[in-house]
Amino acid sequence: MANEADGLIAIVKRDCPTCELVAPVLQRLKDTGVPFTIYTQDDPTFPDGMDGVVDDTALEQSFHHDVEFVPTLIRREKGAEVERAFGWNREDWEKLTGIQGLGEGLPENQPGCGSKSVEPGVHELLQARYGAVPMKARKIAYSGWDDPVEQAFSRGWTDGLPIVPPTDERILRMLQGTPRDPAEIVGIIPPDMKECTVEKVAINAVMAGCLPEYMPVVLAVVEAALDPKFCMHGLLCTLSYSGPVIVVNGPITKQIGMNWGHNCLGQGNRANATIGRTLQLIIRNVGGGRPGEIDRAVFGNPGKFTYCFAEDETDATCTPLHVARGVAPGRNAVTLHQGHGLTSFSDNRSRTGEELARSMALQLVNDIHPKVVQTPNVILCISPEHYRIFEQDGWDRAKIEDKLHEYTTRPGKDLVQGAHGVPEGVSPEKMKDMMPKFWRDHGLLIVRCGGTAGLLSAIIGGWSGGRNHDEIQPVTKEF
């Protein structure tokens, strides 16, 4: 393009009625003898019968000329573009060419069509192929005979499931999901304590299968995980089962189609599945945290592939989790919990808030061990049908929490080491105390979610590291 001659340039495609319309005009311009290059995007034989048409089915020239519509007519002088016209407009074309009487018999004006070079996903492909890219990550070459998915496996980049190969066009598309500079450092990733840029986040998001519009959530998740209070390093190293569990709140959950309803903790929703997976891939790839190495989990849990869901905020009577934790209503936020697994809670007979809270408490006290207290923080996922029982009795989030804390507080004599013939338990000096199961300020996170039918709720257990009340807590990050 740098050496392109002065004169006229037209970019056209056969699959455009306006390009078909102006074909006789193009022929007339050609016949004037002015230097005239015609690039055709979809059919090298179009316009029919015209000599010297340049095949641009690879769209390289269309990309370099930044063409958005066809036909586009450009005039160049002294090595630079001086004027361009889009679609067919007699006045514009006559002014640009300096030739009067163009397109006799044609309408005065007819809009053109979209250029093939700006069709969805195409521009980034062309940018990767012909343009400058902002990515700094080093290139890992592979032969056209190789399967890039298998290459990723063999390089240890995956969590055991196939990844989407992080090619430049995919990374460029992912970076469109955030206004942040690709070179910006998001944080230092444990355990290797390596810098993680927005670009590295995007690369791993591509691999996890994210869409670009998930990027604001993904970036907030990474930043929340790096909050010292979340203790990502310790959570990775632990013998315990736990990993990051992500709850997303705010308008963005609806905008990107997250699942807070039926099967919200299960498979099948792209945003839920890939946002959680991206964090795990970043820990693995950028941070170097791999199972059997620094990750010393005895069992782990299936949620270490991904564990991410949204809260159902459709019931105005229920204060959302992020608002309860200090974020303004209508704002977006992620809350990260150090958690694992799922404990079922099915109660079909409670009909009052009082009955249901007492019933839930029986199950809540069992996390980690029935006689261990003030150690795990848990998420209690309350289904809409269970929530309705509280709501009918006029209980709001604060009252539900109060009652659950009250009913999960038990006499020390039942919990001390040796009580009921079980050595595990709290210190003998707590014999006469009343012992709360959970820390009052952050030990019990309630999330309203799940399918609309079923008197079921669910408990997402917590990491034993939660016993360090001041150092290790769930983290909420607004974005």
Report if residue 250 touches other proteins, rule: CB under 8 A. no
CB of 215 to other proteins, least distance (A): 15
Question: Which of 408, 419, 472, 416 is CA-nearest to residue 444?
Answer: 408
Between 140 and 453, whose beta carbon lies closer to other proteins?
140
CB 437 within 8 A of CB 374: yes
Contact range with other proteins by CB under 8 A, out of 69-77, 166-174, 255-263, 388-396: 166-174
The DSSP letter of residue 8 is E
Between 137 and 456, whose beta carbon lies closer to other proteins?
137
Which distant-in-sequence residues (6+ apart) come within 8 Å of 385 by Cβ?
452, 453, 454, 455, 456
What distance, in Å, lies between the first and last C-alpha atoms of the chain?
Answer: 43
**Window 319 to 348, contacts with other proteins (CB under 8 A):** none
Q: Could you identify the residue written with the tokens 């001659």?
A: 5
Between 86 and 130, whose beta carbon lies closer to other proteins?
130
Residues in the interface with other proteins (CB under 8 A) total 35
Which stretches of 268-332 are assigned E, i.e. beta strand?
A: 308-310
- Give DSSP secondary structure letters for 182-220: TT-EEEEETTTTEEEEHHHHHHHHHHHT--GGGHHHHHH
**From the list 165, 257, 370, 451, which residue makes contact with other proteins (rule: CB under 8 A)?**
165
CB of 106 to other proteins, least distance (A): 45
Backbone angles phi, psi at 189, to 5 degrees: -95, 125
In which element (H, E) is residue 237 found? helix 232-237
Between 207 and 224, whose beta carbon lies closer to other proteins?
207
Query: 308 has which bridge partners?
Result: 246
CB of 131 to other proteins, least distance (A): 16
- Residue 282 one-letter amino acid: I
Between 180 and 194, whose beta carbon lies closer to other proteins?
194
**From the list 34, 99, 118, 137, which residue makes contact with other proteins (rule: CB under 8 A)?**
137
Report if residue 225 touches other proteins, rule: CB under 8 A. no
- Residue 152 one-letter amino acid: A
Between 148 and 370, whose beta carbon lies closer to other proteins?
148
CB 385 within 8 A of CB 452: yes
**Window 43 to 62, contacts with other proteins (CB under 8 A):** none
The CA distance from 112 to 12, in Å, is 10
CB 230 within 8 A of CB 325: no
**Window 167 to 206, contacts with other proteins (CB under 8 A):** 167-168, 171, 189, 192, 194-196, 200, 203-204
Report if residue 143 touches other proteins, rule: CB under 8 A. yes
Q: Is the dihedral of CA 451, 456, 457, 458 positive or negative?
A: negative
Report if residue 381 touches other proteins, rule: CB under 8 A. no
**Window 253 to 312, contacts with other proteins (CB under 8 A):** 281, 285-288
Query: 327 has which bridge partners?
Result: none
Between 130 and 142, whose beta carbon lies closer to other proteins?
142
CB of 447 to other proteins, least distance (A): 31
Report if residue 132 touches other proteins, rule: CB under 8 A. no
Residues that bind other proteins (CB under 8 A): 135, 137-145, 148, 151-152, 154-155, 157, 165-168, 171, 189, 192, 194-196, 200, 203-204, 207, 281, 285-288
